[in-house]
Structure 1
Amino acid sequence: MAKVAAEKIKEFRAEAKFQRTSPQKAKLVLDLIKGLRVEQAINTVHFSTKRIAPVVEKVLRSAIQNANYVSQEQGLDVDVDNLYVKTAVANEGPRMKRIRPAPMGRAFRYQRRLAHIIVTVAEKKPATSARAVVEETPAPAAKKTTKKAATKTAAKKPAVKRAAAKKTATKKAAK
């Protein structure tokens, strides 16, 4: 077997902490871009009508710039056109406790939620290198296996139909 050294795929991330939105609302936008290519993800977020979309776009662009910067600093060969959104999460930040005046001198407490938005991008390797790895490894000897076809069992008749069939059978036998 030919051993192929698997190159570790480098990931680049960016964070936006303490954003004034609930994580649930931020996840609605982040779910739109998970797994998409970077340019398609930017277009999707840019035309989204959600209030948090500009923040998500800014984080996404920051992750792309991080990939570009790190590749230049470390001398990595990262193609920005092959980047895709690997993960996009919104974690819960600290909650701000607030009080709202209520009738008859009372006060109602409520919480303002904050979110930490994290976007990770990685380079998608072209499919041609995967085919080359498959072609290099020899295929194991094929074994002949015979698989029996599943036989379908006859469905049982309901009790009423069985009784009716039994009566007709006895009438035919009596004749």
Structure 2
Amino acid sequence: MAKGHRSQIKKERNAQKDSRPKAKVTFVRLSSTKANIVLNQIKGKDVNTALAILAYTPRYGARIIEKLVKSAVANAEHNNSMETANLFVEEAFSTKGPTLKRIRPRAQGRAYRIDKQTSHITVVLNER
């Protein structure tokens, strides 16, 4: 059964625009599992608490996610005119990006492959 013309379907889909402030970083040289360990610590927390947690988390991903949260806060202030004190991290997730494949020489002419993972990290904020 047809649901309408393609342009009508696209118009309906685009009308449901998400107005929550968010920030996304793509192709980060960090595996999505390692990013999710840090992201799970800040989900549901208010922005100031999340930034404090990230400042004292001794992981490489924490620096990247800290910049990402600050970017999402700036987007909320400038684009959506939201108050910083009322913001909290509603969603924080990371998806798998393309893998960089590298070769490691081994004994007797063999070559082992090293997979260098990348990820796409997204942080979505909302007001309480």
TM range (shorter): 0.7 to 0.9
Report % sequence identity: 35
Aligned residue type for 1:103: A
Match of 1:111 among 101, 110, 115: 115
User: Corresponding residue for 2:75?
Assistant: 66
CA distance, structure 2, for counterparts of residue 50 and residue 97 of structure 1 = 24
CA-to-partner distance for each residue in 1:107-134, whole Å, 9 max, x for gaps?
A: 011211001110000001xxxxxxxxxx
Distance 1:29 1:109 in 2: 27
Give the superposed CA RMSD: 1.2
Which residue number in structure 1 is paired with residue 8 of structure 2?
none
Q: Who is 1:38 aligned against?
A: 47
Q: Partner amino acid for 1:119?
A: V
Asked whether the 8 Å contact 2:21–2:80 carries over to 1, the reply is no
Q: Deviations over 1:125-153 (max 9, x none)?
A: xxxxxxxxxxxxxxxxxxxxxxxxxxxxx
Structure 2 residue 92 is matched with structure 1 residue 92: no
Aligned length: 111
- SS of the residue 1:52 aligns to: helix
Ranges of 4+ aligned residues in structure 1 off by more than 6 Å: none
Give the TM-score normalised by structure 1.
0.61
Structure-2 separation of matches of 1:92 and 1:123: 28
CA contact (8 A) 2:22 2:75 kept: yes
Determine which structure has the larger strand proportion and give its number. 2
Which of the pair has more CA radius of gyration?
Answer: 1
Out of 18, 32, 37, the position equivalent to 1:28 is 37
Q: Distance in 2 between matches of 1:88 and 1:62?
A: 13
| Ranges in structure 2 where 5+ consecutive residues have no aligned partner | 1-17
Separation in structure 2 between the aligned mates of residue 71 and residue 109 of structure 1, nearest angstrom: 46
Partners of 1:19 and 1:13 in 2: how far apart?
17
Q: How does 1:41-60 map to 2 (within 5 A)?
A: 41-60=50-69
